Amino acid sequence: MAHLSGKCSTVLTQRSAVAAPRLSSRVFAPRSLIARAAVVDVNDTTFSDEVLKSSVPVLVDFWAPWCGPCRMIAPIVDELAVEYGDKLKCTKINTDESPQVASEYGIRSIPTVLIFKGGKKMDTIIGAVPKATIAQTIDKYM
């Protein structure tokens, strides 16, 4: 058998070549259970109660499972939920499953993050942006 270096090692045998993935030196930890518990999943039915009637500012992450940039900012939203604690409610809404709310707020691209305070939309962030950008936007309404 021969091993070739690269992103994917190829193991050659007498009969066939079989690709064996090379393990990355980076370790990706699963999202914290605490962080996942801190972010509330909302939908067309629960949006009003969870977001518009909230006594604290609310971050709403509009996302879809097929959206790569949405998956990039998901851990950021999780971290912000833990960091802000009871001062901010962080929510996520799947635009494929809840198109009514997305349409009502004119969501045309995802990820889109909206900040609500007192039941009113205060700010919009479109695209996968750094954590600092989202935090600065949140801080304006705290």
pLDDT digits (tens, 9 = 90+) for 21-50: 444 344 444 444 455 568 999 999 999 999
Q: Mind telling me the catalytic residues?
A: 67, 70
The pLDDT assigned to 36 comes to 54
Mean pLDDT value across the chain: 82
Rounded Cα distance between 79 and 76, Å, is: 5
The pLDDT assigned to 37 comes to 60
Rounded Cα distance between 81 and 73, Å, is: 12
Q: If we measure between CA atoms, which residue out of 48, 112, 32 comes closest to residue 80? A: 32
**Residue 24 backbone phi and psi in degrees, to 5:** -80, 150
The pLDDT assigned to 38 comes to 86
The pLDDT assigned to 8 comes to 36
pLDDT surpasses 80 at 12: no
Rounded Cα distance between 51 and 40, Å, is: 10
pLDDT surpasses 50 at 136: yes
